[in-house]
Structure 1
Amino acid sequence: MRTLIEKIICRLKNKPDYKFENNYSFRELYVIILSRGIQVIRGGYKKLFFRASNGLVFIGTRVVIDHIYQFAAGSNLIIEDNVYINALSLDGILIKNNVSIARNCTLICTGVISQKGKGITIGNNSGINAGTYMGGQGGIEIGDNVIIGPGVKIFSENHNFSNLSVNIKDQGVTRNRVYIGNNCWVGAGVTILAGVTIGEGCVIAAGSIVTKTIAPHSVVAGVPGRILKKRSETIEPEVPDFKTKLRVV
């Protein structure tokens, strides 16, 4: 059974060298197949209402997609339990091939009905981990092969607040697109603010708050996030010199 499942996944993901790294019991494989089978049935119904869909869709329980007619998906989309998506926007939501959206994620394109948002695009082979929030009012674009860790928050809209004589909620908003390049890893609990571009191949450390554009292949950490080094740079660990530091007593 394991070999059969590997072949099916190879075909679905178009990865001829796909292999399980660990052994699974027959019971574990059976549960996995049963769960995915039920998700395919749900997905088959939901995709009837998508703007477009090119392949299988796996959908968990209690998944809500408002304005589903503005939602488009490639092949092998996985949406886990308790995900809320609101696709109302100028461009809608486009999810490309082999994307997974883990449980308890929220994707919203329009907050206030009077101000329709821009939309969200997620590239091929990207994974959105549990509890992520994406506010696509000003537009969010995520590239291919991107890892989004759990609890990440991405904002593309800010409230204006400069006028002291007007309530902040009545001063309107400023919208700026967020772009995350290909092959990035955004760690758990990261916050990305409006107008930020994260270049290709960046690593953003857990808990960072990214407030400005990041050059490609950078390693970023901190509040606010700062570039620690480039990925091509290696930092050798300091090795104590015991010959000079140890003394005979």
Structure 2
Amino acid sequence: MIAKIISRLKDGDSTYNIASTYSSGEWFVILYERGFQILRGFIAKIFLLKTKGLCFKGRNVIIKHRSLFSSGRNLILDGNVFINALSENGISFGNNVTISRNCTLICTGVISHKGGVGITIGNNTGINSYCYLGGQGGIEIGDNVIIGPQVKIFSENHDFSDASIIIKNQGVTRLGVKIESDCWIGSGATILDGVILKKRTIVAAGSVVTKNFEENSLIGGVPAKLIKKI
């Protein structure tokens, strides 16, 4: 019954299935927590949080500049998530997006350099715990993307070419980051400004991605290199 309810919430996804066997006590704890998350989400929507359908909101979730934040159906924001949508285009999520505990999404690092493009995340994408997304130059993430814990994505870089000027006064470049649909970013990976990952790219845990890769690529290392096509 619970699988059918979740499937309906996930836009009628007929492939959704609960493979594990849970005891009644375990289901009670899960549903008890989700119930309070729905209640917090409902209260947040009263205070102008722009989401469609259900919103599951954990404890100590902070969303700054709510007018620049929007989401589709069934948003999950787990505990201690921090979102600052201050930018020209703000932050926009599709349906069934999950942001796990202790994640930070920020679009403006310093007031003198207001973020531009912001952050967009497609449908059915999950971002695991302790991730950092810096959307100053724009981060675009497609549908059905898996992002492991402690992943860092930077869409801005500091200029440092002039040795006569201290680095912090030389300004920044913003090329943006694009991660297309059906990618898997392994735990602890870092993706730097200007990177485009095509569909079905897998990034090995701990990698530092500094350049573009074509679709169906397994990449890894520091800096990341093509390991094989998949």
Same fold at TM > 0.5: yes
- 8 Å CA contact 1:49, 1:69 repeated in 2: no
Task: Give the distance between the partners of 2:49 and 2:37, measured in 1 at CA.
Answer: 20
- In the TM superposition, what whole-angstrom CA distance separates every residue of 1:55-113 from its partner, at most 9, and x where no partner exists? 11001001100111111010011010111110001110001101100001000001111
1:85 maps onto 2:83 in alignment: yes
Residue matched to 2:119: 120
Task: Give the distance between the partners of 2:47 and 2:223, measured in 1 at CA.
Answer: 41
Residue matched to 2:139: 140
- Which secondary structure state, in structure 1, belongs to the residue aligned with residue 227 of structure 2? strand
- My pick for the range that moved more, 11-20 or 172-181, is 11-20
1:146-225 correspondence runs (5 A): 146-225=145-224
- 8 Å CA contact 1:47, 1:53 repeated in 2: yes
Paired residues in the alignment total: 228
Which of 89, 98, 101 is the matching residue for 1:100? 98
- Which secondary structure state, in structure 2, belongs to the residue aligned with residue 8 of structure 1? helix
CA change 1:115–1:51 in 2 (3 A) is farther
Task: Give the distance between the partners of 1:137 and 1:168, measured in 2 at CA.
Answer: 18
Residue matched to 1:58: 56
Residue matched to 1:246: none
Return the letter of the residue paired with 2:4: K
- 8 Å CA contact 1:49, 1:68 repeated in 2: no
Residue matched to 2:8: 11
Residue identity (%): 56
Task: Give the distance between the partners of 2:16 and 2:120, measured in 1 at CA.
Answer: 26
Q: What is the CA distance between 1:50 and its match in structure 2?
A: 4.6
Q: TM-score, normalised by structure 2?
A: 0.96
1:67 maps onto 2:65 in alignment: yes
Task: Give the distance between the partners of 1:74 and 1:203, measured in 2 at CA.
Answer: 26
Question: Which structure: greater strand fraction?
Answer: 2
- 8 Å CA contact 2:147, 2:185 repeated in 1: yes
- 8 Å CA contact 1:133, 1:153 repeated in 2: yes
Q: What is the CA distance between 1:8 and its match in structure 2?
A: 1.2
Q: What is the CA distance between 1:179 and its match in structure 2?
A: 0.2
The runs of 5 or more residues in structure 1 that have no matched partner are: 232-249
Q: What is the CA distance between 1:47 and its match in structure 2?
A: 2.4
Return the letter of the residue paired with 2:209: V
Residue matched to 1:238: none
- 8 Å CA contact 2:203, 2:220 repeated in 1: yes
- In the TM superposition, what whole-angstrom CA distance separates every residue of 1:169-226 from its partner, at most 9, and x where no partner exists? 1111111110001000000000000000000000000011000011111000111000
Residue matched to 1:47: 45
Residue matched to 1:241: none
CA change 1:49–1:179 in 2 (3 A) is farther
- 8 Å CA contact 2:74, 2:97 repeated in 1: yes
Q: TM-score, normalised by structure 1?
A: 0.89
Return the letter of the residue paired with 1:12: L
